[in-house]
Amino acid sequence: MQIPVALERLVYEFSRFPGVGRKTAQRLAFSILQYSQQETQNLADALTEVKAQIRYCSVCSGFTDIDPCTICSHAGRDQELVCVVEQPNNIFPIEKSGVFKGVYHVLMGAISPLDGIGPEQLNIKNLRKRVEESAIKELIIATNPTVKGEATALFLQQEFYGKISTITRLACGIPAGADLEYVDDVTLIEAFSGRHNFYN
């Protein structure tokens, strides 16, 4: 039996999500068919609303519905302590852990020559500007512990050497190949506590 065109389209759209294969996409699509008309409308409204209201913070490039975001504009955050992450979603697990009280900078990716991504394709220009215009005392490099993440961390260490008094890298607690989005609170706390200085 051939899948109806409308259902096939929904399956295709779900399958475009990261980590979602065709079987998972089909299960999601079949679940939608069980929704009431109101539940379906609620989902459609949520998708429309998030695209209309969520944007990138002009300071850190994190997700926000106001600009600058609530973290960058919060008087209680340490503006001299900047945590550099690869993607906006990396901010959420760190915030959830409650271990970090500084501000963030999102690179919007990691260096990957094989994919044609170099430093110039990342949000490093704005980081240079922040370093030049702000009194940043410590740069915490929290890129993912992958080959791309480590290459990016090394580049940042070399780029800002001598421009910032302290540059640290998240160390113990995060297993190699892991993504910050899936790291638990305790592991994050250990990683922040055990960060090491690039200059040592």
Q: What's the confidence (pLDDT) of residue 145?
A: 82
Within a domain: 126:
yes
Kindly state the average pLDDT of the residues 142-165: 93
Q: Is residue 70 domain-shared with residue 116, that is, in the same domain?
A: yes
pLDDT tens-digit profile of 189-200?
A: 767 877 777 765
In the numeric block, which tokens belong to residue 29? 């699509």
User: Confidence band (pLDDT; 50, 70, 90) for 187?
Assistant: confident
Within a domain: 153:
yes
DSSP letter assigned to residue 2: P
Q: Which of 42-56, 91-105, 163-177 has the lowest mean pLDDT?
A: 163-177
pLDDT tens-digit profile of 49-85?
A: 999 999 999 999 999 999 999 999 999 999 999 999 9
Q: Is residue 78 domain-shared with residue 170, that is, in the same domain?
A: yes
DSSP letter assigned to residue 136: -
Q: Is residue 86 domain-shared with residue 38, that is, in the same domain?
A: no
Q: Is residue 103 domain-shared with residue 185, that is, in the same domain?
A: yes
Q: Is residue 33 domain-shared with residue 73, that is, in the same domain?
A: no
Question: Rounded distance, CA 197 to CA 22, Å?
Answer: 44
> How many domains does one find in the chain?
2
Within a domain: 58:
no
In the numeric block, which tokens belong to residue 94? 């760190």
DSSP string, 30-79: HHHHTS-HHHHHHHHHHHHHHHHH-EE-TTT--EESSSS-TTTT-TTSEE
In the numeric block, which tokens belong to residue 31? 């679940």
Q: What's the confidence (pLDDT) of residue 14?
A: 97
Within a domain: 173:
yes
25: domain CATH number is: 1.10.8.420
Kindly state the average pLDDT of the residues 86-95: 97
Question: Rounded distance, CA 180 to CA 86, Å?
Answer: 9
The residue range of the domain holding 16 is 5-53
Q: Is residue 49 domain-shared with residue 67, that is, in the same domain?
A: no
Q: Is residue 90 domain-shared with residue 28, that is, in the same domain?
A: no
